[in-house]
Amino acid sequence: MKTSRARSGHASAGLSAETCWRAVLDRDALADGTFVFGVLTTGVYCRPSCPARRPLRRNVRFYETPGAAEREGLRACLRCKPLDPSAGKAKLAERLCRYMEANSGQKITLTTLSKVAGISRFYFQRLFTAEVGVSPAEYLQACRFAQFKQGLRGRSVTDAWAEAGYGSSSRVYETARSRLGMPPRSYRAGALRQRLRFTTFDTALGKMMLAATAEGVCNVQFIGAGEASVLLQSEYPNAELVQDDDGLAAWAARLREMVQGKSVSHGLPLDIQGTAFQQKVWRQLREIPVGQTRSYSEVAAQIGQGSAARAVARACGTNRLAVVVPCHRVVHQNGGREGYRWGVDRKRKLLQAESLRQD
């Protein structure tokens, strides 16, 4: 839009000032990139989705580009960062994730999603995959499976998969074993027939819990006093939880040595459950040599999705196998050690111990 038109409150490309103002009031992330609005009283310009308090209409002007706003003497908002292209993409991807989560039981196609986003199918696919770390189809599959998993709590397996949007039970059973760690009917019964052995033990960095299924170790975490059973029961409320300190003593000893830096490998059988993207990230983390670190961006590049650094960080944050899947070896681009779910101090000490022993 031309500056003169912005002053008169009109928008270009078929958008009226009224339409723009409605987008601002709704904090519509889908309108980001189509225009910016300036606030004359503060001297800043923002994205339509800016989280800041809404200004009075009489103090607002609309501009087609940030450059047009800056020629009017306005400066970029520090909260919504209208000059940062990645900020707008992230908000759009987040909104589309929420859309898929809310409608996962319905038939959703790439065409549907691209229309909701207001961009071409090709560009939508690239943008979403880069920002989220998985394709739209993979994310929708994860949403449906999450709904199916939740539905198992109070419905039959057949009702649960039908309400989750699956066309047949075969599609469910294809992925149920790897994601649930058991048949759907067992999970529906609260893992009634699933036997989980666990033990707790002290390490140089605090108390840890180790839990294992028949397939292998499924959970290793630093915990507080009395947290082991609570953590396990939150996922499998009716599971047969068996504290097996003697049977798991050898595995616990290996983990204790890893925490102390006396060993660089665990050699444990693993039962790792997660989404396709999480599995891909966790597999790459286990490839990082002891004594070395990688940035989130480097891990993203190594799995072939160079723009998915934020998604890699989320996968690290959901890792349930402390030390075994070494998410502590992933750092920020500037080398910062923050962002470890079990505490920055533990992360620093783990890296320090590993740097002294690299065999």
Q: Give the active site residues.
A: 46, 327
Other C-beta atoms lying within 10 Å of the C-beta of residue 260? 15
